[in-house]
Amino acid sequence: SYAVALTGFLIFLALSSKTPWPTLDDVRNMPWWAPFGGLLGGAAVMGMIAVARYVGVATFSALVIIGEMVVAVIMDNFGLMGFEERSASLPRLVACGLITLAIYLMVDDSEAGARTASVT
């Protein structure tokens, strides 16, 4: 799947990009944290393959979303990676809390369904 995605991405870039490709010097001078986005993406795919079958696709997807939201709020709050600082306001924190509650309800509901199915 990675080879297909990489090939499609390279074709898209070759056909649509009007800006020059990064040079070797650009790669040498990129921030130390830049490669971690790709590594985390790969870890997310491996996590989906390994975990989603046990917790369900909806629960796994919801966990990914809450993880992304929490990290995004932290990055915004501290202006990490060059982003403009935006405070971790009450509405943002409440949104993260509500999504966490939704995940709990999804997991609790799926466990209740599994208990019902095993009883019958």
Q: What average pLDDT does range 64-92 have in this prediction?
A: 91
Q: Are 103 and 63 in contact (CB under 8 A)?
A: yes
pLDDT in tens, 14-48: 888 777 778 899 889 988 888 888 888 888 888 88
**What pLDDT is stored for residue 57 in this prediction?**
82
Is pTM beyond 0.85 here?
no
Torsion of CA 54, 55, 58, 60, to 10 degrees: -100
Region 82-103: what's the mean pLDDT? 91
Q: What is the mean pLDDT of residues 83-95?
A: 93
